[in-house]
Amino acid sequence: MVAVREIADTWASLYSNSAVLRSGLSFAHLGGLVASAGPAIAADRALLRAVRRGHDAVTAELRTMRATHILVVTGLAAVTASGILLMLADLDSYLQSTAFWVKMALIVALTLNSLVLVRAHHLVARGPRGISMLRGASIASLVLWFATTLAGAVLPNAL
């Protein structure tokens, strides 16, 4: 833990003394959010529309949205990396913050829900059985993306 503390202290000093670094990191965090949440929300909405049209429409939509996955994962990588750096810039405050832990719980829920979405995709590929799971996971995804974003907006004000 001493090594982490030393890294955090060094990083906090660099971060607090550079407006360019703070701005760039904030942009990386928000840009990553836009790059991941935007396509994910659009895909969730498209899937929910397809669900109303039936299994063939859902299957076609799932084929269409394969390229979305790389955008979401790349954006989440930027959010994760920048989030770790933001946390290290004020480690004690983040670790003691209820808002931080709520946001982390929402991120875990969003990640687990993505596993449900993947499972539902596989079920739908074999037949209509997974459509209700896909619908529920898409709705949960929409709620979780917005809840996580809200928690992220609250977090700096709660430190």
Percent share of the chain, pLDDT over 70? 99
CA atoms within 13 A on the CB side of 97: 20
The kind and range of the H/E element at 79 are: helix 66-89
Say what the pTM is: 0.88
How far is residue 151's CA from residue 103's CA, in Å, rounded to a whole number? 5
Residue 158 above 80 pLDDT? yes
How far is residue 149's CA from residue 157's CA, in Å, rounded to a whole number? 14
How far is residue 64's CA from residue 62's CA, in Å, rounded to a whole number? 5
Q: Give the tens place of pLDDT for each residue, 76-115.
A: 999 999 999 999 999 999 999 999 999 999 999 999 999 9
Task: State the pLDDT at residue 78.
Answer: 96
Chain centroid to CA 138: 14
What value, to the nearest 5°, has the Cα angle with vertex 159 and ends 102 and 142? 35
Residue 1 above 80 pLDDT? no
Q: Give the tens place of pLDDT for each residue, 56-81.
A: 999 999 988 888 888 999 999 999 99
